[in-house]
Copies of this chain bind each other. A is one copy, B any other.
């Protein structure tokens, strides 16, 4: 993986990440394809209609269904889904924590019950990276130890210690990836693939290059965040992390506290690697955190809000369910060039929602994702032009 930092405007940074499966400019937003599918959309929608260069898939979900072995049989997520850009996969730790009952954390890892069939599974720092290897993810996230906020000092300290320990174990996996060939690794990680002849595994040529991002925890406490970051960087040896993520935010704390935590942390982070703020956020969150030096984001908000009828526009949020939309011949946003706005009226989209038509979900998701991706493009243009501060002030007026 290559990260080129081109330019900056105050703390906002303009860069480009190159993976084995393509390039993407930063700051970037990654649409979320939880189950190897961005909800209501397909690979062509993502890469052609929307022009998304990277999407996020969830390790927890794809591990449970269809199973990493099945995806590995296709050579990974790209050939399985036919999306040819880059994939980032999370570690699965967050879902094992939030979706499962009877989850047990220990220094070894996380034991959890599947939310689908109740079967018992273990995620360890090594196992989640092996799974992400089978998925052929371009950017793999390490397993970290989450704690819900607010948390006691004791709990946060224990979480930091474990998060740093797991980061250290994750670097050993990176060493293993580097020191072994694909055939060895695939067969080592998959009982099913072990039985198959390697040269008959896939029809298509694979581009494979696992990059690993570490995750900084520490709640909203400046000192803890600093300690965690330093602990993670101290683990690095001949192998280092390809990027650094800020985890454990946007979990219910006030927005200002999130912004402050990021603002205190980013100046301490290495400048030569991408900074990824996990699970964030609203359009304003993106702009606020770009202003604080963040390069990458992901969030279910555009697609989830779309399905609920809340649509983002150049003049703020609108509710397509509102009865005022019934006879409205205008597009969702006259300034928008998305597929839904180029083709359909608010009245028709309102009708599709009211009538419970599946078609609604696709049109609304295309619109909201276009909005998010276009917002990132505007952000990048303004950083390049050194006009980000002005853009930021105007934007806050619309999305306050």
Using CB atoms and an 8 Å cutoff, list the residues of chain A in contact with chain B: 35-37, 39-44, 61, 65-66, 70, 73-74, 80-82, 203, 326-327, 329, 343-345, 347-348, 350-352, 354-355, 357-359, 361-363
Contact = CB atoms under 8 A, between A and B. Distances in A.
**Number of chain copies forming the complex:** 2
A351 B359 CA distance: 20
Contacts of A350: 66
A326 B69 CA distance: 11
B66 A343 contact: no
Contact of A358 (B39, B203, B327): B39
B354 A37 contact: no
A39 B360 CA distance: 10
Given A66-B354, A74-B347, A80-B348, 8 more contacts: A40-B359, A43-B344, A65-B354, A66-B326, A70-B326, A74-B329, A81-B348, A358-B362
Given A82-B348, A361-B358, A327 B73 contact: yes
B347 A42 contact: no
A345 B65 CA distance: 16
Contacts of A37: 352, 355, 357, 359
Given A65-B351, A73-B327, A329-B203, A357 B81 contact: no
Contacts of A355: 35-37, 61, 65-66
Contact of A42 (B65, B66, B203, B363): B363
A44 B343 contact: yes
A35 B357 contact: yes
Most buried by B among A344, A354, A358: A358
A355 B326 CA distance: 33
Contacts of A354: 65-66
Contact of A66 (B41, B74, B347, B363): B347
A39 B347 CA distance: 18
Contacts of A361: 358
Contacts of A345: 74, 80
Contacts of A74: 329, 345, 347
A328 to B, nearest CB: 10
A40 B356 CA distance: 10
Pairs of residues from A and B, 4 with the lowest C-beta to C-beta distance, nearest first:
A35-B355, A40-B358, A66-B351, A37-B357
Most buried by B among A40, A74, A357: A357
A343 to B, nearest CB: 6
Most buried by B among A70, A82, A359: A359
Contact of A39 (B65, B203, B327, B359): B359
Contact of A327 (B61, B70, B357): B70
